[in-house]
């Protein structure tokens, strides 16, 4: 069931100029929550901060969890997951950066050697 929803809303989210509207509808439908104005503002803010893709996959991650009706502050949980995902992405970029720097230096050294040989 969630796979069909995810596919449908993924197409809407990626093809929309205003991704917060389909994300809000996906949030409501996937999590079974009736949203209000605060939820609408919350989704818009998260899209501006983290981007449509991260918000979509966070909602998808939550949709697969059980016992969400016992969570008092679901918006807080969404914020926490988004922050965690962003930190993971930043840490992955940092860990790859030194390798890239080494590669760039090696290429520059090879260029210098080739120029000096000519």
- Higher-scoring residue by pLDDT: 57, 1: 57
Neighbours of 118 (CB within 10 A): 5
Residue 25 confidence (pLDDT)? 93
27 within 8 A of 39, measured Cβ to Cβ? yes
pLDDT tens, position by position, 98-113 = 666 676 677 778 777 7
Helices assigned H by DSSP within 1-118:
2-15, 20-31, 37-50, 52-63, 74-117
pLDDT at residue 19 is higher than 80:
yes
Q: What is the mean pLDDT of residues 86-96?
A: 73
Q: What is the mean pLDDT of residues 76-85?
A: 90
CA angle (48 as vertex; 46, 18 as ends), nearest 5: 100
Domain ranges of the chain: 2-117
- Residue 57 confidence class, pLDDT cut points 50, 70, 90: very high
Chain centroid to Cα 99, Å, comes to: 25
């Amino acid at each position: 069931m969630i796979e069909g929803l995810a596919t449908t809303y993924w197409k809407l989210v990626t093809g929309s100029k205003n991704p917060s509207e389909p994300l809000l509808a996906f949030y409501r439908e996937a999590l079974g929550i009736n949203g209000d104005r605060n939820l609408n503002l919350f989704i818009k803010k998260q899209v501006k901060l983290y981007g449509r893709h991260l918000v979509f996959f966070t909602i998808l991650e939550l949709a697969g969890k059980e016992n969400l009706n016992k969570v008092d502050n679901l918006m807080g949980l969404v914020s926490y997951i988004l922050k965690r995902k962003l930190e993971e992405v930043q840490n992955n970029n940092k860990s790859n950066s030194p390798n890239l720097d080494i590669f760039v230096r090696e290429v520059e050294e090879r260029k210098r050697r080739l120029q000096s040989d000519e």
